[in-house]
Amino acid sequence: MHQDPVTAVVVGGGHRSQIYAEYALLRPQELRIVAVAEPEPERRRWFAERFGIAAERCYESAEELAAAGRLADAAINGTMDQLHVPTSLPLLELGYGLLLEKPFALNEVELSQLTEVAGRRDSRVMICHVLRYAPFYRAIYEQIAAGAIGDIVCITMEERIGYGPAAVSYVRGKWADRHICGAPMLLAKACHDLDLLTWFNRARPERLVSLGAERLFHPSMRPAGATGRCFDPCPHIDSCPWSAKTDYLEHTERYEGYLWTEIPDLAALTETQKRRYLHEETDWDRCVWVCNRDNVDWQSLIVRFADRSAGVFTMSSGAAKPERTISIVGSHGQIEGDYLSECFTLRRSRPQEASGWTEVEIDTRGRETNGFTGRHGGANMRMMQDFVRMMRGEELSFSATTLDDSITGHLVAMKAVEAMDEGTVVDMDGALRAFGC
């Protein structure tokens, strides 16, 4: 039976919203973008031209969009973390369905506000946990669900953040100070991973402990003679891993989407002009040891689940090569692999074999992706496909992350920060019960 496309408005026209909205160009029979709310004129213009949005449907703020009443079936909310809940609540009250970027809430108060309104309005809400749709993690989930390694004993996951991305986002960038951006680093960077952890182990989290600290970027690590800015000049400008000269000037392509957003024609600038921009017009050449940040460089947590299994997760900054690794020990086997390789090893206990086990390598590269390509093995567009299905009331894939599905992973992140700050063991079962889980 023919169905009209789901119509959607976009709130926050940044990188993530742009990616998700592209689904409307790939499958116009399923999704149509009809309005955008974005304070930056260039981004509003991009959306208007890309998706044929009428001028009167291009708004400068989420407040203006909400004041116009309900214009579409759904909203795609890709605003900054601290704006997710404030901009979503009015849209839910108007009856919009919602695709909401993670983290969907920054604390338990926001979590409560969003779940209350969504529940009262019987809203359809999906959270952007795109890694659930990546072929690598989908294949691991399928093996666990099929009983390939028996009952889970322990899941160990690690996210190693590259030295460059750590500095550009969590030291010099938007997420440097959790009291300003609202998101502690674990929640901002690793809520994907904690969502996966609680997705793979469907048992209920019972207790949690966590430790963390600022180590790599602590002021005590500042080398002798370092100046306050790279171009002051600093004597370490050619040897420091976080030199603005090396990372941002000599390799402008590395973080173009972070640093050079105000420059419409970057290629036309001379090196002197780029240096002046970094040093005089922005803070991008601040010494990483004098940024007055308030966040951690590493954090580890252990969760005990109701079935007596464990979940262990570590996030660390400064890796030469960014990685996400996973190891799952079960009662009859194990799984281990790393996300970037898109391959994992499945081992099964076999006492009759000389080695004591059998193993097979599972390569998820090039797996069927419904015609979708791109980052995360087409995961972004697979998620958008599920979002359209949700809005149409159709059956969702096993990767789908509704608001209810996402609460546990987010609460683990929030409570891990509490456990770290207060030096306590957190009652996760009680925290979940407080939210009706």
Q: Where are the alpha helices (DSSP H) in 303-402?
A: 375-392
In a domain, 1, yes or no: no
Tokens, residue 289: 């040891």
In a domain, 286, yes or no: no
SS3 assignment, position 286:
strand
Residue 331's pLDDT is 97
* Pairing mode of beta strands 333-338, 58-59: unpaired
In a domain, 191, yes or no: yes
- Domain co-membership, 112 together with 77: yes
- Domain co-membership, 176 together with 301: yes
In a domain, 314, yes or no: yes
Residue 174 and residue 181 in contact, taking contact as beta carbons nearer than 8 Å = yes
- Domain co-membership, 225 together with 206: no
- Domain co-membership, 137 together with 185: yes
- Domain co-membership, 213 together with 242: no
- Domain co-membership, 206 together with 179: yes
In a domain, 362, yes or no: yes
SS3 assignment, position 327:
strand
Q: Which parts of the chain have pLDDT scores under 70?
A: 1-2, 367-377
Q: Which of 281, 301, 316 is the last residue of a domain?
A: 281
Please, what is the angle between helix 185-200 and helix 403-422, to 10°? 120
pLDDT in tens, 330-347: 999 999 999 999 999 999
Q: Which of 123, 158, 184 is the last residue of a domain?
A: 123
Matching residue, tokens 């799952």: 328
Distance from C-alpha of 28 to C-alpha of 339, rounded to nearest angstrom: 31
Residue 353's pLDDT is 84
Q: Which of 97, 123, 149 is the last residue of a domain?
A: 123
Q: Which long-range contacts (CB under 8 A, 24 or more apart) does 389-392 make?
A: 390/97, 390/124, 390/126, 391/6, 391/73, 391/74, 391/97, 391/124, 392/3, 392/6
Residue 377's pLDDT is 65
Domain that holds residue 417: 131-217+293-434
- Domain co-membership, 388 together with 319: yes
Distance from C-alpha of 309 to C-alpha of 317, rounded to nearest angstrom: 27
CATH number for the domain spanning 380: value is 3.30.360.10
Distance from C-alpha of 45 to C-alpha of 62, rounded to nearest angstrom: 16
- Domain co-membership, 162 together with 302: yes
Matching residue, tokens 């989930």: 141
Distance from C-alpha of 233 to C-alpha of 245, rounded to nearest angstrom: 10
Q: What is the CA radius of gyration of the chain?
A: 23
pTM of the model: 0.93
Distance of CA 139 to the CA centre of its chain: 20
Matching residue, tokens 């919009």: 96
Using the Cα atoms of residue 32, residue 38, residue 42 and residue 44 in order, give the sign of their dihedral: positive
- Domain co-membership, 329 together with 273: no
CA-nearest of 174, 328, 377 to 261 is 174
SS3 assignment, position 349:
strand
CA dihedral 386, 392, 394, 399 (to 10 degrees): 20
Main-chain dihedrals φ then ψ at residue 234, nearest 5 degrees = -100, 140
CA-nearest of 123, 128, 116, 125 to 81 is 128
In a domain, 237, yes or no: yes
- Domain co-membership, 308 together with 173: yes
Residue 291 and residue 244 in contact, taking contact as beta carbons nearer than 8 Å = no
Residue 411's pLDDT is 97
**In total, how many domains does the chain have?**
3
CATH number for the domain spanning 113: value is 3.40.50.720
- Domain co-membership, 147 together with 248: no
- Domain co-membership, 189 together with 313: yes
Beta bridge partners of 37: 11, 59
Kindly list the distances between the CA atom of residue 311 and the CA atoms of 146, 196, 201, 385, in Å, as whole numbers in the listed order: 20, 11, 8, 30
Residues 6+ apart with CB under 8 A from 247: 164, 167, 168, 254, 255
